[in-house]
Structure 1
Amino acid sequence: MSLVNGLPAHVLLVHFVVVLVPLTALALVACAIWPVVARRMGIVLPLLALVTLASVPLTTQAGEWLERHVGSDALVRRHASLGDGLLPWAGGLFLVAVGVWWVTRRAADTGPDATTGSDAPAATRAPAVPMRIAATVLALAVSVGAVVDVYRVGDSGAKAAWHDGFSKTASSGADHD
């Protein structure tokens, strides 16, 4: 995909990444910390992370097309280089989201028996606590890394796009509110 309505697709697709990565990170951390949130979200968490993961290479490919159609300078090259590093973070969000979903399902399966009303043996539930702690630590680490990386990529892209595209002083013909 190169152009959408005459505009470079990258300029439009980047908005998905800028919204989806922090949204997925927030949902992932909430689900990792609060099992009730994870149970309510259910399969939506890994599906959201999958959509986020898919949006990154689409945006990157559109960015590579755009890079070939703009003047090359150090800012554009830095943005492209930083953009290439986002896919592993999006992949991490997806993998940890699947893990949190799995841990939540497993914990629900070892909870009270729906037919007898009795709790599962403590030995069956015990591994859920270390897994939930590990999932929370991983969720925090990957989420912070992904959000920081999106910020760095976006900041470098804004600098590449706008570094000489405007004047710091208002033009004489500009309307003022």
Structure 2
Amino acid sequence: MVLAQDLTTVDGLPLHPLVVHAVVVLLPLAAVGATLIALRPAWRRRFGWPVLAMTVLGVASVPMATFSGDQLNAAMGGANPLIAEHSALASVLMPLAIGFGVAVLVLVLSGRVSDREPDPTDSRARVWRLASVAAAVLTVVLAVATTVQVVRTGHTGSTAVWEGRVPTGGS
């Protein structure tokens, strides 16, 4: 099959299946890390910045996967209903991933400020601790939601690719 000339490829392979692996690996890994730092403030102090960096990379890979997926879909004619379902699920992933990224950022920053407040009875310290707890709860909720959406989106994409192409046995 000859693909369209404007399709971005790497060594002849469409970019989409390559970029998708960044989403599928980085976002769930970031979700696990974010959940851990949300539940253990001592880990947040030690691993907050690396988890935030991984989250940013995972979130940034989503629009690249979306763009390359749109290119691939156009190159293949865009008539597959399974790919349409995959695309619809992918469009929900982007806002979830952004929300997750913002929640992790707020968690790391509010946690840092909260840790620096010397007097825990001070009203400012209480506000930052409350913000940190709220960010932790929101981070865990969005980590789960983002991971579920990555799995759902990835499953429909892989089903669209392999539907009718994998031998089912027999002769």
The TM-score with structure 1 as length reference comes to: 0.85
The one-letter amino acid paired with 2:91 is D
- Whether 1:80 and 2:87 are equivalent positions in the alignment is yes
Please, what is the CA RMSD of the aligned residues? 1.6
Q: Which structure: larger Rg?
A: 1
Task: Report the counterpart of residue 11 of structure 2 in structure 1.
Answer: 5
Match for residue 60 of structure 1 among 57, 66, 79: 66
Task: Report the counterpart of residue 3 of structure 2 in structure 1.
Answer: none
Shift of residue 43 of structure 1? 2.2
Instruction: Report matched runs for 1:159-174 at 5 Å.
Output: 159-169=159-169
Q: Secondary structure at the match of 2:164?
A: coil
- Whether 1:95 and 2:102 are equivalent positions in the alignment is yes
Structure 2: unaligned runs, 5 residues or longer? 1-6
Task: Report the counterpart of residue 38 of structure 2 in structure 1.
Answer: 32
Could you tell me how far apart the structure 2 residues matched to 1:39 and 1:64 are?
39
Deviations 1:103-130 (A, max 9, x none): 211122114xxxxxxxx25114322442
Structure 1: unaligned runs, 5 residues or longer? 112-119, 172-177
Higher share in helix: 2
Give the aligned length.
163
Q: Secondary structure at the match of 1:78?
A: helix
Identity %: 31
Could you tell me how far apart the structure 2 residues matched to 1:144 and 1:28 are?
10
- Whether 1:20 and 2:26 are equivalent positions in the alignment is yes
Shift of residue 35 of structure 1? 0.6
Could you tell me how far apart the structure 2 residues matched to 1:128 and 1:26 are?
24
